[in-house]
């Protein structure tokens, strides 16, 4: 029974194997298995405990001390290795599960054109496709170009409707921020003889308090056609052609009588409500139509102001708000977001 007898060298062997197995253990399970092989219920060192009873009291005491010391050594090695392997496993798991946030974070982004600019570009494309040229002019204007040449002499009541912002430049109320893009058309007619087929997009200014439908600066596009034999039928056809080209075949236009000082006759033009496509909804007050802008045949006094003979030439003009159009097309409930530069809005377009 010598092989079953307690020996110090057997204890040493067990300790060496246990420490080697712990050092090689790669996983928490490996570590626990190495620990159990030595110190578990059926462990090698535990088995030696049973042999102590074959020893006399003296030898049992010495052997017990050796067993205890070895148990302490293996336990300490086990705990160190367990905590190391646990840390390695955690690090490996974190590495596996790590999200590369640089892939989804916004980071430095390429900007985009504002919704108003995109809308203006699309409108220009549509009109250029219909044979119009694009013209631009100054935003600071003279009273004459903005009002007088457009059949609105100084005392004209329509002037008060524009809430004009005047500049402190020259005589009082002679220099202003243009209230519409019509002065560009005046400049164009002064510069070039008919025929004229042009659109004038640009920023205009009015002393309005901002609300969901108004901002003190907004963008407008106006159109002007001057040629021999131009009729109201040409105007109606142009408006309808534009509406279908820009909005698609589901949306059409209709005209209703209106008044503008610079056109006669004048009309408002309405388009099929883009929200309900004519069925009727809150946006169009259940009429199926929403107002977009105004138009009419150029008033003879406007032609006279720029030296065009109203007996020889006739023409039409129209105008509408670009912001208002974008508001309809994209269903924007509050116009002020167009100027706020809130990234939550701007990055959607």
Residues in touch with ligand 2NL (CB under 6 A): 182, 185-186, 220, 222, 224, 260, 262-263, 293-296, 298, 302, 317-321
Shortest Cβ 135–ligand 2NL spacing (Å): 11
Asked if 74 contacts 15 with a C-beta cutoff of 8 angstroms, the reply is: yes
Other beta carbons less than 10 A from residue 15's beta carbon:
20
Backbone CA torsion sign across 228, 233, 235, 239? negative
Comparing CB distances to ligand 2NL, the nearer of 63 and 271 is: 271
Comparing CB distances to ligand 2NL, the nearer of 260 and 289 is: 260
Shortest Cβ 224–ligand 2NL spacing (Å): 6
Ramachandran class of 242: left when φ > 0, alpha when ψ lies in -120 to 50, beta otherwise: alpha
Q: Which helix (H) or strand (E) holds 291?
A: strand 289-298
Chain residue at closest Cβ approach to ligand 2NL: 319
Q: What residues does 200 pair with on adjacent strands?
A: 222
Shortest Cβ 103–ligand 2NL spacing (Å): 46
Comparing CB distances to ligand 2NL, the nearer of 185 and 314 is: 185
Shortest Cβ 157–ligand 2NL spacing (Å): 17
Shortest Cβ 183–ligand 2NL spacing (Å): 8
Ramachandran class of 121: left when φ > 0, alpha when ψ lies in -120 to 50, beta otherwise: alpha
Comparing CB distances to ligand 2NL, the nearer of 247 and 269 is: 269
Shortest Cβ 107–ligand 2NL spacing (Å): 40
Shortest Cβ 289–ligand 2NL spacing (Å): 15
User: Rounded to whole angstroms, how far apart are CA atoms 238 and 231?
Assistant: 11
CA-closest candidate to residue 331, choices 161, 153, 212:
212
Structure tokens at 27: 């996983």
Structure tokens at 296: 């009419």
Comparing CB distances to ligand 2NL, the nearer of 201 and 319 is: 319
Comparing CB distances to ligand 2NL, the nearer of 133 and 250 is: 133
Here the contacts of 246-251 (C-beta below 8 Å, separation 24 or greater) are 246/122, 246/123, 246/126, 247/271, 247/272, 247/274, 247/329, 250/277, 251/277
| Radius of gyration from C-alpha coordinates of the chain | 44
The single residue listed with the structure tokens 């159990």 is 36
Shortest Cβ 277–ligand 2NL spacing (Å): 23
Q: How many residues does the chain have?
A: 349
User: Rounded to whole angstroms, how far apart are CA atoms 84 and 111?
Assistant: 49
Comparing CB distances to ligand 2NL, the nearer of 43 and 296 is: 296
Comparing CB distances to ligand 2NL, the nearer of 43 and 183 is: 183
User: Rounded to whole angstroms, how far apart are CA atoms 22 and 16?
Assistant: 10
């Amino acid at each position: 029974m010598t092989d079953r007898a307690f020996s110090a060298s057997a204890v040493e062997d067990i300790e060496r194997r246990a420490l080697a197995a712990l050092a090689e253990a790669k996983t928490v399970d490996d570590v626990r298995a190495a620990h159990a092989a030595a110190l578990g219920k059926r462990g090698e060192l535990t088995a030696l405990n049973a042999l102590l009873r074959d020893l006399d009291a003296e030898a049992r005491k010495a052997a017990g001390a050796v067993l205890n010391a070895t148990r302490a050594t293996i336990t300490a090695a086990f705990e160190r290795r367990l905590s190391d392997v646990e840390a390695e496993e955690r690090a490996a798991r974190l590495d596996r599960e790590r999200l590369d946030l640089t892939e989804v974070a916004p980071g430095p982004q390429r900007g985009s054109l504002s919704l108003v600019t995109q809308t203006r570009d699309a409108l220009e494309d549509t009109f250029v496709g219909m044979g119009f040229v694009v013209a631009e002019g100054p935003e600071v204007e003279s009273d004459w170009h903005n009002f007088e040449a457009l059949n609105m002499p100084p005392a004209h009541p329509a002037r008060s409707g524009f809430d004009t912002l005047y500049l402190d430049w020259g005589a009082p109320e002679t220099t202003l921020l243009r209230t519409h893009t019509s002065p560009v058309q005046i400049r164009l007619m002064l510069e070039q003889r008919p025929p004229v087929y042009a659109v004038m997009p640009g920023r205009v200014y009015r002393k309005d308090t901002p609300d969901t439908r108004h901002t003190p600066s907004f963008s407008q596009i106006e159109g002007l056609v001057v040629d021999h034999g131009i009729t109201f039928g040409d105007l109606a056809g142009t408006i309808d052609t534009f509406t279908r080209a820009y909005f698609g075949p589901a949306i059409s236009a209709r005209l209703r009588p209106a008044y503008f000082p610079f056109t006669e006759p004048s009309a408002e033009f309405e388009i099929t409500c883009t929200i309900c496509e004519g069925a009727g909804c809150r946006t169009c007050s259940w009429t199926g139509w929403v107002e977009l802008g105004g138009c009419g045949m150029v008033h003879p006094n406007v032609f006279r102001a720029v030296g065009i003979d109203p007996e020889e030439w006739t023409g039409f003009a129209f105008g509408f708000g670009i912001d208002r159009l974008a508001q309809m097309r994209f269903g924007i409930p509050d116009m002020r977001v167009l100027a706020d530069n809130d990234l939550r809005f701007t990055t959607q377009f």
